[in-house]
Amino acid sequence: MDADTASVLGLAIFVGAFVVMYALRTMKKDDGPDVNHLADTAARLVEAQTMLAGRLAQMADSQTAAQARMAEQLQAQENVVRTLLDERLADVSRKVGENLEKSSTKNTEALGALSERLAVIDAAQKNITELSAEVVGLQDILSNKQARGAIGQTQMEDLVRNMLPSNAYEFQVTLTNGKRADCVIRLPNPPGMIAVDSKYPHEAFLALCAAPDERARAAAEQQFRGDVLKHIKDIAEKYIVPGETADSAIMFVPAESVFAELHDRFPQVVEEGFRRRVYIVSPTTLMATLNTIRTILKDARMREQAHVIQTEIGKMMEDVKRLDTRVTALGTHFDQALKDVTEIRTSTGKIVKRGQEIENIPLEKDTAPAIQGDNVTQLRVIAE
């Protein structure tokens, strides 16, 4: 029994004693004592007091049971809250783990793709270095004065078709000066378009080979030298056009023997061709020249492929930006998890606060006055 119940019980005893005293005093004022009436009144008072004590005991038991039920409810609520918190925390931990695993997988894939593109770029740079070294070597070959000649117009066309891509040459091209070249090779500027013309001093060479004596040989040499110099002059004047073609041209000799004779016995003619920037070639040296030109074209295409390398670098930068975005998203997930835990703690605080408010509700003060009023009414009825 707590203090409030004891106070109510004391008040009830005091009221019962007051009623007994009042009844006794009333009896003394009457004409004489009525023992039977007094005994009845005392019996009724004792009975009322007994009933009041029973009610008070019931109140105490009810209050104790209510407190027990409230404690059970609070315990049940606490268990539910703990269960919910455990489930929420487990769910948050699971989601965070899944997000971390997905982010790790995506980052690994992005790094793998980045490594592959870096490997492609390294291979491309290696190829560029090797091709540059080959271009330098082939340019050295092109500058060699021991180039060898050609096999005629048909052979020249076959060599060009076999050695160069179809968009790098054209046959029987008319220039702006009205002259028609046997072939033009289109190179990027510089040097630009190079004309190739096939010349073969057949009659002079046959006369040189068939000369029976020194006088005839001297005359044949003079004729051969004059014909070759005329071919060099014609090529220089017709097929070297400033602003349209390169500052040099190629003279194709259709026989290795003619090419060898020129370099062996007519070096002044070869030098005149160099001076006029008309290069005499044979079938063998034309193949070397075309191979060099093809390498130059390949180098030009390789330079164009530099845009591909730039594109790969751009893709690599996109992968880096994508990686940064995913790392930022991962940070956002961590921030969201921290926010969820904070909200859970806020909700837990509110629940605990409300539980404390429910626990502090003064149920005894609300019910005691009503019961007390009923008991006083019953005492008044008994006294009457």
Give bridge partners of residue 174 from the DSSP assignment: 180
Closest by CA to 71, choosing from 349, 350, 363, is: 363
Q: Do both 96 and 23 map to the same domain? A: yes
Mark whether 156 and 269 lie in a shared domain. Answer: yes
pLDDT at position 384 is: 44
Is residue 275 a part of any domain in this protein? yes
Q: What is the pLDDT of residue 29?
A: 47
Domain check: are 277 and 153 in the same one? yes
pLDDT beyond 60 at 22: no
93 part of a folded domain: yes
| Phi-psi group of 97: left, alpha or beta (phi > 0 → left; psi -120 to 50 → alpha; rest → beta) | alpha
Q: Between 107 and 280, whose confidence is greater?
A: 280
Do 160 and 244 lie in a common domain? Answer: yes
In a domain, 140, yes or no: no
Query: 152 and 252: one domain?
Result: yes
Q: What is the number of structural domains in the chain?
A: 2
Distance (Å) of CA 339 to CA 101, 320, 346: 21, 29, 10
Residue 75 within a domain? yes
Q: Which amino acid is at 36?
A: N
The token duo for 148 is: 């060898």
Do 265 and 168 fall into the same domain? yes
Across the chain, mean pLDDT equals: 75
The residue range of the domain holding 208 is 148-281
Sheet with 169-174: strands ordered across: 169-174, 180-186, 193-198, 245-252, 278-281
Does pLDDT of 178 surpass 80? yes
109 lies in a domain? no
Q: What are phi and psi of 281, to 5 degrees?
A: -130, 155
- Model pLDDT for residues 35-76, shown as the tens digit of each residue: 566 667 767 777 776 777 777 777 777 878 887 888 888 888
In a domain, 66, yes or no: yes
Residue 146's pLDDT is what? Answer: 39
Q: What is the pTM of this model?
A: 0.41
CATH number assigned to the domain comprising residue 275: 3.40.1350
pLDDT band at 337 (very low <50, low <70, confident <90, very high): confident
Q: In the prediction, which pLDDT does 141 show? A: 41
Q: Which of 246, 265, 281 is the last residue of a domain?
A: 281
Same domain (yes/no): 155, 70: no
Residue that is last in its domain, among 281, 311, 341: 281
Report the share of the chain in percent with pLDDT over 70.
Answer: 76
Alpha-carbon gap, residue 60 to 68, rounded angstroms: 12
pLDDT in tens, 70-114: 888 888 888 888 888 888 888 887 888 788 888 878 888 888 887
Identify whether residues 166 and 267 lie together within a single domain.
yes
Whole-angstrom distance, CA of residue 304 vs CA of residue 225: 45
Q: Domain check: are 152 and 276 in the same one?
A: yes
* 278 within 8 A of 228, measured Cβ to Cβ: no
Lowest-pLDDT range of 10-14, 219-223, 272-276, 332-336:
10-14
Residue 289: C-alpha distances to residues 127, 258, 351 (Å): 22, 18, 92
Residue with token string 């980045």: 114
> Are residues 260 and 198 part of one domain?
yes
What b-and-e string marks burial along 288-311, b requiring 16 or more CB atoms within 10 Å of the CB?
bbbbbbbbbbebeebeeeeeeeee
H or E element: which one contains 54? helix 35-142
- Which pLDDT belongs to residue 69? 83
Q: Are residues 267 and 159 in the same domain?
A: yes
Q: Is 208 exposed, middle or buried (0-12, 13-18, 19+ CB in 10 A)?
A: buried
pLDDT at 122: 78
Is 220 within a domain? Answer: yes
Stretch 206-224: mean pLDDT: 82
Residue 189 in domain: yes
The pLDDT of 166-177, averaged and rounded, is: 86
- Residue 383 confidence (pLDDT) above 60: no
Which whole number is the average pLDDT over 8-18? 59
Write down which residue in 230, 254, 281 finishes a domain: 281
Q: Do 196 and 277 fall within a single domain? A: yes
